[in-house]
Amino acid sequence: MNLESPASLAQVSSPRPRHLLTPANLLIVLGCAALALPTFYTVATQTWTTEQGGHGPLVLATGLWVVWRELRGSKLDLRPGKRAIWMPLIASTLGLFIIARVTGVLEIEGYAMYGSLIVAAYSLFGAAPLRALWFPLIYLSFTLPPPDTVVAFVTQPIKIAISSSAVSLLYALGYPVASSGVTIQIGQYELLVAAACAGLNSIVTLTALCLFYVYLRHRSNVRALLVIAVAAVPVAIISNFARVITLVLITYYFGDAVAQGFVHDFAGLLMFSVALFSIFCIDQLATPVVVGHREASA
């Protein structure tokens, strides 16, 4: 009668993951590349070249670096995901991707493609790497443009609020100014408060950079991450309010050509730098409170 040690019994009874370099898995990888590359090319040529999506390449580069940093030296339990979970999910995301691709809705196509890639990663490697990469997976989603309906829903009230607030302040200071919706009239000039001057671009870009900053500084402190991410919204709106005031005054004193040229871009860059510095200051003030609260609760 042969007796085996408990260690050898554990080795026999423990399930071993399949080898990852199988023809089926390689086919899935090629399918993911064929799915992702055309969409990313369209996003890069149509969105990343605009002010709204100019942060995309930076987010992609830093996001891939975070993925490499999280996976470097980590020992994850890699095993295929459950078919009962990933098969209906991949069918849903691919179906949505095909519809968006045919109809030309780039925003939905991008997120459907991204969802399909995540589901494909789960089917190959299981849930362990997805849990380990939860932050870069969220962070990399900022490379894709938000849906137009969300853009319109968010920007319209912000644009109206910034326009009316700027006009109220300048009128109280004695300037000949009035507004109609998102249009501001000052003197003989008329300005349109576009989405670029209404906080959306700064909110998206600031939130992405703040997430990266919090990851580097606080890593797994979810409370600090939420505090800084929430603070990015009012900071972006206030900084853009100051930008609109500045551009309106420049237009009034120096003319529309000056305000819409280099000064327009410089004012946006300056206000964004001030907003980013404000986020750093908020983090310095909030960190002792957040860390102290966490230590007290522990």
The per-residue pLDDT for 290 is: 58
Q: Is 197 a catalytic residue?
A: yes
Q: Is 281 a catalytic residue?
A: no
Name residues whose C-beta falls within 8 Å of residue 214's C-beta, 6 or more positions apart in sequence: 221, 224, 225, 228, 229, 283
The per-residue pLDDT for 14 is: 40
Low-confidence ranges of the chain (pLDDT < 50): 1-18
Averaged confidence pLDDT in the chain? 80
17-75 tens-digit pLDDT? 445 667 777 888 888 898 899 999 999 998 888 777 778 898 999 999 999 988 887 78
For residue 185, the cross-strand partners are 178, 190
Angle at 131 between CA 294 and CA 60, to 5 degrees: 100
- Count of residues for the chain? 298
The per-residue pLDDT for 198 is: 54
Q: Give me Rg for the CA atoms of the chain.
A: 25
Identify the active-site residue in 32, 69, 197, 217: 197
The per-residue pLDDT for 197 is: 58
Segments making up each domain of the chain, as ranges = 18-143, 149-297
Buried b (16+ CB within 10 A) or exposed e, 230-247: ebbbebbbbbbbbbbbbb
Identify the active-site residue in 32, 72, 210, 243: 243
The per-residue pLDDT for 92 is: 94
Say which residue the tokens 């080795």 belong to: 11
| Chain centroid to CA 116 | 18
The span from the CA of 54 to the CA of 25, in Å, is 34
**The two three-digit tokens of residue 51, written as one number:** 């002010």
The per-residue pLDDT for 89 is: 94
